[in-house]
Structures are given as C-alpha cells and as structure tokens.
Amino acid sequence: MSGNRAPRGFFGKRLYQLQHAPRPVFRAVLASGGSGLVFMLIYLAYDLHVERALMDGVSPSLIVGGGDLRTEAAALVVLCTSTFGSLLTYLIVPQPSADGTTTTRSGWSALLGLFASLPIAYIGLVIESQFLKPLLLAL
C-alpha cells in the first residue's frame, strides 16, 4: 500500500467492497437475481391479468386460477426464488479444497444462495407492485 495515499472513508470503503465483491457472493447474487427476475415477471403477468379483469368487472371465478390468488402467488414467488436461487448457487459455487486442485459441493453454498435470494425476492415484489404494475396499468 502506498504511503502517500490518504485512508478511505466510510463510503470509500463500501464502494471498494461493492466493486471488489468475492466471486462466490457475486455468483450467489447473480443466480438469485436471475431466478427472482423470471418469477417476478411471471407474477407481474398474473397480477396485471387479475387487476385488469377486476377493473373490467369480470367475476372473480372467471379469473385464471379461480379467483384472486395474488397473495398466494406472491408467496410462491418468494418460495420459488429462494429454492431456485439456492439450487443454482449450490451448482455454480463450489467449495475449494485445501490442495486447490479439486472442488466439492457443500450445503454452505446453498445456504449462501438462500441468504442472497430472500431479500432479492422481496425487493422484486416491491419493484413489481410499486413501480412496474402502476406503470403498465397506466398504458
């Protein structure tokens, strides 16, 4: 480290950590984010269908699924995002061995994926309900 450089402040340290994230964490967030995006888009399509049907005065029994099941669908989005995010992280984040030549799969990788996928699932639902749905309903 250079002696003539001033130490980083709080935000400088956080920015450096954000730009230099460890590969396993980056892969876990990417896997969870990808699966969360897919399930959130499916939920968005269902949510728009139900909202437009209710605004047109269609009977709830004629809606796909037999009624307004958006709460159950949102719970399913969280469940699927966490499951697939954990599974994908388990598959793409190997645990290195001591000799450096072989890698093994570990439950810790799946747990890392679970910890990354839960906030991503809820952030996706917030983005869907507060930004995308009102934007697309206004069209």
Read off the pLDDT of residues 98-120 as tens digits, 9 standing for 90 and up. 777 777 788 888 898 899 999 99
CA 10 to each of CA 13, 17, 18, 21, 26: distance values in angstroms, whole numbers, following the listed order = 5, 11, 12, 17, 22
pTM, full prediction: 0.80
Residue that the structure tokens 């954000």 belong to = 18
How many whole angstroms separate alpha carbon 40 and alpha carbon 77?
A: 7
Q: pLDDT tens, 27-47?
A: 888 989 999 999 999 999 999
How many whole angstroms separate alpha carbon 139 and alpha carbon 134?
A: 9
How many whole angstroms separate alpha carbon 117 and alpha carbon 29?
A: 7
Q: pLDDT tens, 56-76?
A: 888 877 777 777 889 999 999
